[in-house]
Amino acid sequence: MTSTPHKRVAILISGGGSNMVKLVDSMTGDHPARPVLVLSNNADAGGLKHAADRGVPTAVVDHRPYKGDRPAFEAELIQTIDAAQPDIICLAGFMRILTDGFTSHYAGRMINIHPSLLPKYRGLHTHARAIEAGETEAGCTVHEVTAELDDGPILGQARVPILADDSPDTLAARVLVQEHRLYPHALRRFASGDRSRVDLTDA
């Protein structure tokens, strides 16, 4: 019986890459996907070493030389990513805004993790905004990436309580634990062709 080839996954990061590490470490055994590239816009991203330590090819496309010319930056991103011939792109703490030129190139095969219960709190500073608004719960969302920021079809969510004495940092740490559960779970389903939504309750 011929085994079906693995789905090839490229992961984009900008910093420590804790979500990327969980994704890479999850793609073993009978998982339908394997990591083929970890790319950062930041040469100092701590995640690049974690990827290299795991034998995953890495690349850097620094956004700074392209200041003011987003399409040129994205053209180099696409060239570098496509050289690895990925089937799936995972954004994991990738902190650059992407134009619809980029998102349409990867339409239907790019996913992202966002640290809020979308559609609430798109954009940045999600935990501070949720606390400020008096929310009683927070969490994270894995969604397909479309032209609209943090707006594509939801693939999964995980929820945590917001505690009375929470700061943005204590809440972020609680949510990050759930991100590390949700993203590998959602990627495995997505790589197997299952785009149905999953909701993980707090462990």
Q: Which residues bind ligand GRF (CB under 6 A)?
A: 13, 15-20, 92-93, 113, 115, 140, 176, 179
114 is a catalytic site residue: yes
Nearer to ligand GRF, 32 or 93 (CB): 93
- In the bound state with ligand GRF, the residue whose beta carbon lies nearer, of 32 and 184, is 184
CB of 5 to ligand GRF, least distance (A): 27
For the bound state, the minimum distance from the C-beta of residue 13 to ligand GRF, rounded and expressed in Å, comes to 6
CB of 115 to ligand GRF, least distance (A): 4
Residue 46 or 153: which CB sits closer to ligand GRF?
Answer: 46
Residue 41: DSSP 8-state: S
Catalytic site residue from 6, 31, 114, 127 = 114
Q: Is 160 helix (H, G, I), strand (E, B) or coil?
A: strand
Distance separating alpha carbons of residues 168 and 192, to the nearest angstrom: 35
Q: In sequence order, what are the residues at sequence separation of 6 or more whose Cβ sits closer than 8 angstroms to the Cβ of residue 2? A: none
**Angle 176-178-182 (CA atoms, 0-180°, nearest 5)?**
120
Q: How many CA atoms lie within 13 A of 72 on its CB side?
A: 8
Which one, 75 or 176, has the nearer CB to ligand GRF?
176
Q: How far, in whole angstroms, is CA 85 from its chain's centroid?
A: 18
Residue pair 117/143 in contact by the 8 Å Cβ criterion:
no
CB of 100 to ligand GRF, least distance (A): 20
Residue nearest to ligand GRF (CB): 93
Q: Which residues are catalytic?
A: 114
